[in-house]
Structure 1
Amino acid sequence: MNDYKATIQNTIQEYSARLIELASFIGAHPELGHEEKQASALLGAELEKLGYQVERGVLGLETAFIAEYRSSKPGPIIGLLAEYDALPEIGHACGHHLICTMALGAASGLRAIVDDTGGTIRVYGTPAEETKGAKIDMTAAGLFDDCDIALMAHPYHVYERSGASLAMDALQFEFHGKAAHAAANPDLGINALDAVIQLFNAINAMRQQTRSDARIHGIISNGGQAPNIIPDYAEARFYVRSATRAYTDELARKVTACAEAAGIATGCKLTVSNYEYSYDELRTNEALSDAFTNNLIASGIPEQDIQRGHDNGSLDLGNVSLRCPVIHPYIQVVKQPYQLHTVEFRDAAQTPPAFEAMLFGAKMLAYTASDVLTDPQLLQRIKAEFAS
């Protein structure tokens, strides 16, 4: 371990009690996306205490922030991403209370060395990852374009390299028909629910001709009010995903064509919209990922215990990865094979072993950032890969 990493380790360890206190509080007080007022305020206040300049309400998003510490020496711009939104009903079952405190811990460690190494440390407070992720707005506004790297780590039940995620569109189809009594005069009605059923049938027939990475899954979010009334309104919501934005766009066009055909077949008018933001695929920077993995191994994690990266979900970090080099590895915070978005994972992620793993993850993020700050050849490899 070099002197910079020793300083990072000591700094985070000295700060550990406060990090655990914050993780415990945020975990016990879950807030939904764009409602994370307590978490955002706490994190911003802590970063100010560490010497960061904090801009709150970024892009008009009340719970978004950007905190920055710029040293007097030139050097890379390091982005650390903090997520702190919870899930409906089951709270912090995705471990975002640990994600944000890992970023905060890494920011504390890097603050202790960056005046000497040169460079800028920037912490992005990114609300609502689970729904309308603020990273989408931030990316569209160009707020990551000058970052040399952007880092975050996600809690899980195993160690896993940064992998890939699926691009996604969230499509809503509303069919407008005409109500009628289903027994007395059905001939006067136009059945909007029939259009939704035709949509599902058409999509199911289409699946035979889609690539293996395609994922199309939906629900009937409104199917009428009573069985003796022909529904004059029905609504379906779908997620359309694939490994690339280009193929996801193609799938979205085909699914929309199915909806248009269902409207024509039933005589319904169709309205199409996006009910959540579209996510691009995550493109892991392998040179940066190797640096993170090497720090895990050097810190005592056996290489065989670090699984190959894969992620069949969708992340708003994917959009960021098209603007700057990004990694999204997983840190083992629970020993049992609990899956994310479950009550079991939520409860296990609010125990002392999980908090200790959070501190470890903070050190790994900071170690990796320090490698980039101090090794121009590593940064060159990262940038060359991103540009390719």
Structure 2
Amino acid sequence: GHGRTIAILAEYDALPEIGHACGHNIIATAGVGAFLAIHALYEKDPAAVPGTVVLLGTPAEEGHSGKEVMARAGAFDGIDAAIMVHGYGYDCADQVWLGRRLLTVTYSGVAAHASAQPFMGRNALDAANLFYQGLGLMRQQMPPISRLHAVITDGGTRPSIITESATVQCYVRSKFPETLKELSDRVEDAAKGAALMTGTGVTVDWDEHPPSLPVRTNSPLTARWAEHEQTRGRQPLPAGVLDESIAASTDFGNVSYRIPGIHPLIKTADAEVALHTREFAAAAKTPAAESAALDGAYGLACTALDFLADDALAAAVTDEFARDGGAIDVEHFFD
């Protein structure tokens, strides 16, 4: 159609071994349901849909930033806003989502007999250990909402051999793009400092897959979502009610810094059931999950139609996006 264009996003990937422990089956069902409802309305009365609605299936959200790959290929070109809904333990209109980067650090040492000639070696595992400990100490002097968590994926082969190669993978997360960039620089400095302290070589590789930015939530769209969910008997919590420290990451953040968007949460499981657990995977195929998908579809469809039909709402959405800084160069932000 003519007029504005809004995208409804449908994630559908699952987690290895534990399935839909992030509820992407609910996301996809709600997104497809909203699109089909709008399409049925259009067939009955084309004038009731004064614009264009695009359904975008978005794969590889878990750790691979599929939406960023799609954006770089032009999937969001010509789209004025994007909306989706995510299952959770609460109904929440606006919750913090952190930006996230992946750092892989590989230390190169010198192998030697750990008993007969340890002084001839340079221990790559020592460097990895110092870096890991440095991350722990760094947490004292970083924003409380930021997160650092790491794992040593390669730490040597035998106790009798000074470790020649060691690898650490680290997630760096923060609430704002600017603080994520600054924290990334500090983490890289720590990685290189550990190499200096141990006399080892080091290679630093960022972002095997594209990084995720924090979610920038659009308030006018969020308010409409909340109004529509209330008609379904839900009471979405506003921003600030849930502790912002309960925060993960999503590649929808990359979309939200290109165009206005919302990523509300809908109650699918009991509050104590965490995402990325077998318990949440079980909850994602219950009657409560079916209700969440149906209510989510209703909210997405109504919010999309509001954006297309309500000029005042669309203007408010656009104005807030501009006040918040407008579109940024997501692809090259960390260059």
The secondary structure found in structure 1 opposite 2:32 is helix
How much does 1:306 deviate? Answer: 9.7
- Structure with greater helix percent: 1
Structure 1 Cα separation of the partners of residues 272 and 4 of structure 2: 38
- Which runs of 5 or more residues in structure 2 are unaligned? 324-335
Q: Is the 8 A contact 2:91 2:235 kept in 1?
A: no
Q: Is the 8 A contact 1:285 1:326 kept in 2?
A: yes
From 320, 323, 329, the counterpart of 2:255: 320
The amino acid across from 2:225 in the alignment is: F
Q: Secondary structure at the match of 1:272?
A: strand
2:98 is matched with which residue? 166
- State the shift of 1:107 in Å: 0.6
Distance 1:157 1:375, change over 3 A: same
2:92–2:237 Cα contact (<8 Å) kept: no
Distance in structure 2 (CA, Å) of the matches to 1:152 and 1:287: 15
Alignment of 1:19-98 (within 5 A): 71=1, 74-98=2-26
Aligned residue number for residue 353 of structure 1: 288
CA distance in 1, matches of 2:81, 2:218: 9
Counterpart pick for 2:53 among 121, 130, 133: 121
Partner of 1:334: 269
Structure 2 contact 177–213 (Cα < 8 Å) conserved? yes
1:97 is displaced (CA, Å) by 0.9
CA contact 1:192–1:234 (8 Å) conserved in 2: yes
1:258 matched to which residue of 2?
190
Unmatched 5+ stretches in structure 1: 1-70
342-351 vs 170-179, which deviates more? 342-351
* CA–CA distance in structure 2, aligned partners of residues 375 and 206 of structure 1: 48
C-alpha RMSD of the superposition: 1.9
| Aligned partner letter, 1:345 | F
Which piece of structure 1 moves more, 352-361 or 153-162?
A: 352-361
| Mapped contact 1:145–1:323 kept (Cα < 8 A) | no
Confirm or deny: 8 A CA contact 2:229 2:295 kept in the other structure: no
Structure 2 CA distance, aligned partners of 1:370 and 1:334? Answer: 28
TM-score normalised per structure 1 = 0.77
Percent sequence identity over aligned pairs? 40
- 1:305 and 1:208 map into 2 onto residues whose CA distance is 29
Q: SS in structure 2 opposite 1:271?
A: strand
**Equivalent-residue separation in structure 1 for 2:291 and 2:112 (angstroms):** 62
The structure, 1 or 2, with the larger RCO (C-alpha pairs under 8 Å, 6+ apart) is 2
- TM-score for the superposition, normalised by structure 2: 0.89
Decide whether aligned partners of structure 1 residues 198 and 155 sit closer, same or farther in structure 2, where only a CA change above 3 A counts: same
Aligned to 1:135: 67
Instruction: Determine the C-alpha separation between the residues in 1 that align with 2:218 and 2:10.
Output: 19
> How much has 1:190 moved relative to structure 2?
1.2
Closer/same/farther in 2, CA of residues 357 and 209 from structure 1, 3 Å limit: closer
How many residue pairs match? The answer is 316
